[in-house]
Structure 1
Amino acid sequence: MDDLTGFQRDLLYVIAGADQPSGQDVKEEVEQYYSSDINHGRLYPNLDTIVNKELVEKGQLDRRTNYYVITDSGERAIEERREWESQYVD
């Protein structure tokens, strides 16, 4: 996970905490955290990056809507990151 941007990590966390969210669901959740609009040109390339790194799988709900699911590798990456963080923050 050390090669992800903070934004990509945030996307991964949102997906891990949801049940097959669509890209729009992920966008809305991240916008609440960032308190600003996230455009499609920022969101979808970053989602594709974490899919390509096999941290997330992308499926299709219908012809226009994809969903995202955390993989075992993604869960391990989050766990390892949290262990690393716990060295510095209680």
Structure 2
Amino acid sequence: MAATDQKGNRIKDIEPAVDDGELTRFQWTILYLLAREDGCSEYGLGIKRALEAYYGEEVNHGRLYPNLDQLVEMGYVEKEQLDKRTNLYQLTDEGKDLLRADAARCKRIADGLGGER
């Protein structure tokens, strides 16, 4: 049975998800960290450290780099090889548009919640 709101509307029908190509929560977190203005390093190791600070636990390379590669394949992140060991990762315009759409969706949901409690 689908979840419903107080009016009986199916929750999934209230606000469609952003068409993100089935991103995982971990991948969304990577995108949001790359978008931060406070200096998340765009190098793989810097992204790893930012994720570890966010999650409060170690993030292994075997989890990080396949997810970064998938975001590159999806067109949300651009990868530039700086040397044999270092890659630079940046949001593409498509990645920025995806985050803007998600932020707008979240704002609409928050606006629908009404005043403070």
TM-score surpassing 0.5? Answer: yes
Does the C-alpha gap of structure 1 residues 71 and 56 become closer, same or farther in structure 2, counting only changes over 3 Å?
same
Distance 1:49 1:12 in 2: 12
For residues 14 and 53 of structure 1, the distance between their equivalents in structure 2, rounded to whole angstroms, comes to 17
Q: Percent identity, aligned pairs only? A: 41
| TM-score, length basis structure 1 | 0.92
Aligned to 2:81: 60
Mark the runs of 5 or more structure 1 residues left unpaired by the alignment: none
Displacement, 1:4?
Answer: 0.5
More helix by share: 1
Question: What CA distance in whole angstroms lies between the structure 2 residues aligned with 1:49 and 1:26?
Answer: 15
* Unmatched segments (≥5 aa) in structure 2: 1-19, 112-117
> What TM-score results when the alignment is normalised by the length of structure 2?
0.72
Runs of 4+ displaced beyond 3 Å: none
Counterpart among 39, 47, 52 of residue 26 in structure 1: 47
Pairwise mapping of residues 3-82 of structure 1 onto structure 2 (< 5 A)?
3-17=22-36, 18=39, 21-82=42-103
Aligned length: 90
> RCO (CA 8 Å, sep 6+): is it higher in 1 or 2?
1
